[in-house]
Homo-oligomer: A and B are copies of this chain.
Amino acid sequence: MSTHFGDRLIDAIREKNAPVCVGLDPLIERFPKALLQDVGIPLTAAGAVEPDVDPAMCAKAMRAFGQEIIRAVAPHVPVVKINIAFFERYHADGLRAYFDLVRFAREAGMIVIGDVKRADIGHSSTQYAQAHLLDVPGADVAAPDAITVNPYFGFDTIRPFVDIARAEGRGLFVLVQTSNESAAEVQNLVLPDGLKLCEQVGKLVQTWAGGEGLVGRSGYSCVGAVVSPRDLDSTERIRTLMPQCLFLVPGFGAQGRTAAEVAKCFRSDGTGAIVNASRSVIYAHNIAPYCDRCGTDWTRAVEQACKDLVIAIRDVVPH
């Protein structure tokens, strides 16, 4: 893997005509009963997962669920984002399932974002960067194409990730404006020049992203940003302040952002963003109208929700 990450992402979005990412946040409590039974997860009489199931068994269920999701969405969207928090809950077994799914998604031709939100001071960030951005063929580990990182420490903690991204054709998405409500407590603090903190962080990230050897032929850097349109004014300003950054846009679907809101994350030429939805797709088997329409094959519900998501996003991308 050595082509520039931003170029690969832009090409993949164009090929599927879908600036869309499906987020894999697997909670076994919400898995289809049929899948849980296939894997052998013990269920109560009411069909709920028994407490204290063996973590290796849970990891097995997550692997099976993830593979079905990836098979269902891969024909329609270019990117899957896998959130490691849900896997860490099962410790070493979960981490193995996470990396197995990264490999599975890459082999299915998808671009994989590891949603790890890591950061630490320099020499510790180097360890995280090696863990999450480097393949280890001898250990059967395939790393994601890109990961999410946290900016609170400033650039010297981001540099180890940038160095590996540049050398290996990988990417980063630095948290700038997140989708949760109380993010405003920190990210909306207003600085004396009138910029909000998230806007100032966006400016900094653009500086980092424009560094030597980081911008591809598409004009985008391999260093992007996580930007939710939680605050629309900020979103417009951030889009202007960060011309070379690709935005990973959370908050659509279950988190309540509308398609018109996420549209603000694109540049006027219709590029520059990829919109993520997680729960509204991967749990579509629980959500009307999908569950009603798709009968017993729960993956049909997921696939239909994914196709509808793509159409909804296509509809609002500027062109």
Contact pattern, A 72-86, Cβ under 8 Å of B = 1, otherwise 0:
000000000001011
Name the CB-closest residue of B to A188: B154
For residue A88, CB closer than 8 A to chain B, the reply is: yes
Most B CB within 10 A of own CB, among A90, A138, A185: A185
- Which chain B residues border A236 with CB–CB below 8 Å? none
Bound CA span A132–B85, Å: 10
- Which chain B residues border A89 with CB–CB below 8 Å? 127-128, 130-131
Interface size on A, residues (CB 8 A): 65
- Which chain B residues border A303 with CB–CB below 8 Å? none
Number of identical monomers bound together in the oligomeric complex: 2
For residue A180, CB closer than 8 A to chain B, the reply is: yes
With A152-B175, A180-B121 already in contact, the answer to whether A185 and B204 are too (CB < 8 A) is: yes
CB pair A120–B117 under 8 Å, yes or no, is yes
CB pair B189–A190 under 8 Å, yes or no, is no
Name the CB-closest residue of B to A176: B152
For residue A45, CB closer than 8 A to chain B, the reply is: no
For residue A253, CB closer than 8 A to chain B, the reply is: no
